[in-house]
Structure 1
Amino acid sequence: MKTFSQKTAEIKREWFVIDASTLPLGKLAVVIADKLMGKSKVTYTPNVDNGDYVIVINAKNIQVTGNKMVDKKYYRHSGFPGGLRELRLEEVIEKDPSYALKEAVKGMMPKNKLAADRLARLRVFNGAEHAHAAQNPKEIK
């Protein structure tokens, strides 16, 4: 039995649509990361980026369980003394709902050279409309 190794010329990418209001944030991030990496394909090869495009709609309706809206915090630092800033999840969703989803998916991806290209195939829209109808995306339930 020979080991299969996919070549970059053999990659076939598909488009998928996921509604963010159907699953909690963590479970949604797992499904999106799986599609972006291509792990659900039989031709999955770890060192080849053979993932698909993912469109996420209704990002403003993200659901979380428990008290995560208040307890979950996002940190950033300006690099200067006293420059640590923190925002709660509810503040992040008010300001930019797509940021919370992108950060969750980024945390689920492996930290390697392929991560940036995989994340670039993620398209997040705050409403129910998206600009990629021409690609005929398949809906993931």
Structure 2
Amino acid sequence: MKSFMASPSTITRDWYVVDATGHTLGRLASEVAKVLRGKNKPIFTPHMDCGDYVIIVNADKIKVTGKKLDQKIYYHHSDYVGGMKETTLKEKLA
């Protein structure tokens, strides 16, 4: 049996709207990642971009488990000496 390989002409992209109210952050992120990559389609081909478009609404009402609001820290650097900045998840969601 021959394997199916998707080509750019056979790929159709759909739009999905996801309501994040009450969903857990990591579980929702993994489901959205599957749709973005195209793994929910039977024509999935690893080397082709066959994913769909996703819009997430009510992202401010997402659930975060444990102490992640205070302990999860995001880092970024301004490329200047001493330019390391830290932001907690609580500050990002505020």
Give the structure-2-normalised TM-score: 0.95
Q: Which has the higher contact order (CA 8 A, sep 6+)?
A: 1
Displaced runs of 4 or more, over 4 A: none
Partner of 1:68: 68
CA displacement, residues 60-112 of structure 1 (integer Å, 9 cap, x when unaligned): 11211001000001100011121100000010011xxxxxxxxxxxxxxxxxx
Quick one: distance in 2 between partners of 1:26 and 1:48? 25
Alignment of 1:11-26 (within 5 A): 11-26=11-26
User: Whose helix proportion is higher, 1 or 2?
Assistant: 1
> Number of paired residues?
94
SS of corresponding position for 2:51:
coil
Q: Identity across aligned pairs (percent)? A: 46
Quick one: distance in 2 between partners of 1:79 and 1:93? 25
Quick one: distance in 1 between partners of 2:7 and 2:26? 32
Quick one: distance in 1 between partners of 2:22 and 2:35? 17
- Give ranges in structure 1 of 5+ residues lacking alignment: 95-141
Amino acid in the other structure paired with 2:47: N
Alignment of 1:3-14 (within 5 A): 3-14=3-14
Partner of 2:51: 51
Quick one: distance in 1 between partners of 2:3 and 2:21? 40
Quick one: distance in 1 between partners of 2:4 and 2:10? 12
Larger Rg: 2
SS of corresponding position for 1:39:
coil
Q: Cα distance, 1:55 vs. partner?
A: 1.1
- Give ranges in structure 2 of 5+ residues lacking alignment: none
RMSD: 0.8
